[in-house]
Amino acid sequence: MEKKDIYTKMEPASTARSGGVSRESQLGNATIVKAEAIKHVDPTTVSESNVEGLLFCWCVSGSGSIEANGETYQFSRGNLLFLPWGHNITYKPDELRPFYIKTLHVVPSHDPKVELKVAVGSDDDKELLAVPTRKNVDHPMLRTPTLIDDIDDANLAVLFNYALGVFKREVPPLPVARQMARLFLYEFFSLKMLIPTEEEDNVPRRLQFLIDYIKENLSKDISLTDIAAYSELSQATINRLFREHLDTSTMNFIHQKKIERAKHLLLVTDLPVSDIGPHIGINDVYYFSRFFKKMTGHSPTEFRRL
């Protein structure tokens, strides 16, 4: 799937319409409110508490650890740490090689009528704490901390640097900060979906090989025959591996991963439903809608409004 197809079709939420019905996604008002690069020159510990924003923290060089909400994360070059709304955080740079980090703060729902202020509400900055114009959104991909091993070569790093450059020059117009947030969240969700689940992380290598193939080809109409030809395993062996280690059939696993991607696109983009099906290998919008409702109990439009 080419990312440019998503980017060029993501209209501003205020203008995205289909049949007179708004297609605004759940995160249509997500906004980057702060972006900065922080060079730690010594091992001084820095803490913040009750931070009302989503934090994305990228280690560019050096190392250290981050304590957040009772967990400790070893942090070194390439690592990205995501922390949800209301987090507490303590930065502990390494004594010999203190880390150089870049951070983005995103407010999931920012009032589009209120001018952007480059600051984040916290116990240290109470002016923006619990203000009605900035709110959290209960989104399944934004509920728990996430550590991604290496984003240096990912599209996310490009967007990170672009946002930092914009904020360094001036306070961006609110529509620009919103569009950057949505593109950034799209890339973050795409990376997060590639992280193996706890079950997938403990499977044999040859099954992981099949799982990787499926995840990389969700925009195609994948069949068991295709997987067998790619892996040079028999269809019976493939089905046995999925049943034995993931307690599901091969085709059901494929369908579940396609639905996860469709949900992701419905929640974080304003793509019309007719444009989402092809991203999971279904070009017929009516078949896509029936497939989605069968798998989730909701039509794509209903799910987007939940």
Spell out the per-residue pLDDT of the chain, length 306, in tens.
334 344 434 444 333 333 323 345 678 899 999 999 999 888 889 999 999 999 999 999 999 999 999 999 999 999 999 999 999 999 999 999 999 999 999 999 999 999 999 999 999 889 999 999 999 998 888 999 999 999 998 899 999 999 999 999 999 999 999 999 989 998 998 888 888 777 887 889 999 999 999 999 999 999 999 999 999 999 999 999 999 999 999 999 999 999 999 988 888 788 899 999 999 999 999 999 999 999 999 999 988 876
* pTM of the shown model: 0.78
Token readout for 120 is 């984040």
Q: Domains in the chain, please, with CATH?
A: 3-194 (2.60.120.280), 200-305 (1.10.10.60)
User: How confident is the model at residue 135, as a pLDDT?
Assistant: 95
pLDDT at 296: 92
